[in-house]
Amino acid sequence: MSPVPPIRVALADDQAILRSGLAALLRLERGLEVVGEAATCADALAMVERERPDVLLLDVQMPSGGGPEAPADGLEVAERLRGGSTRIIVLTTFGRAGYLRRTLETGASGFMVKDAPVEQLVDAIRRVHQGLRVVDPELAAQSLATGPNPLTPKESEVLRAAAQGGSTAQIAARVFLSEGTVRNHISNAIGKLGVTNRAEAVREATDNGWL
């Protein structure tokens, strides 16, 4: 009987100490092989293309690392890898229900917080490799309680631009819309989120993982 090949794992996280520490722990596990590491969204895509890992551990909040065509965050990386052979487990520092919902919408196979025990993460890697889905049960319950994202894609885009600060004119320039259209999107978002101003809308949407 031929030996079972190891599960080829890659990691994408901009926190170098955390990434290298996790890689070292995974290398101690029988049946796992760490084949690559990346610190930006652009590098993560290139690494998957180059190494073809079985499982990718992917951080949510990573720098783009490329031009305007590069993914904005880890969830956009997962979206671009949808349908490929690499199964994805999204890891995040922030256990936000909205992130879980967005993760599942990308087609990723798992969602876990970074402070989970390494044994739990290893088990998740093995289960995802078998074609199963792994989701933190507490976050799953929170996601059901929070409900779906009420914002349209354009409203979300405008709020993400607003989160960088600046005037309405500056936000409009970032998203290539008129100032009036930006004001309308922000006003609609404020109404949907039940807040009173732009800053509160950004905070509410961020806290729920919708940005």
Question: How is the chain split into domains, by residue range?
Answer: 7-145, 153-207
What pLDDT score was predicted for residue 146?
63
Task: Give average pLDDT by consecutive 10-residue segment, the chain, 211 residues.
Answer: 84 93 93 95 94 95 81 88 92 72 82 85 94 79 67 91 90 91 93 91 83 76
What 8-state DSSP symbol labels residue 70? S
Residues 168-188 pLDDT 10s: 999 999 899 999 999 999 999
Strand partners, 135: 111
- DSSP three-state, residue 76: helix
Beta carbons within 8 Å of 9's beta carbon, 6+ residues apart: 26, 32, 33, 34, 35, 53, 54, 55, 56, 57, 125
- What fold characterizes domain 153-207? Arc Repressor Mutant, subunit A (1.10.10)
Q: Which residues of 4-38 are buried (b: 16+ CB within 10 A; e: fewer)?
A: eeebbbbbbbbeeeebeebbeebeebeebebbbbb
What pLDDT score was predicted for residue 122?
94
What pLDDT score was predicted for residue 140?
65
What pLDDT score was predicted for residue 107?
83
What pLDDT score was predicted for residue 139?
67
Residue corresponding to tokens 């009036």: 180
Q: How many residues does the chain have?
A: 211
Question: Looking at domain 7-145, which CATH architecture does it have?
Answer: 3-Layer(aba) Sandwich (3.40)
What pLDDT score was predicted for residue 23?
94
- Measured between alpha carbons, how far is residue 80 from residues 69, 105, 124 in Å? 12, 12, 22
> Are the folds of 7-145 and 153-207 the same?
no
What pLDDT score was predicted for residue 164?
87
What pLDDT score was predicted for residue 92?
81
What pLDDT score was predicted for residue 100?
75
What pLDDT score was predicted for residue 145?
54
Phi-psi domain of 84 (left: phi exceeds 0; alpha: psi -120 through 50; beta: other): beta
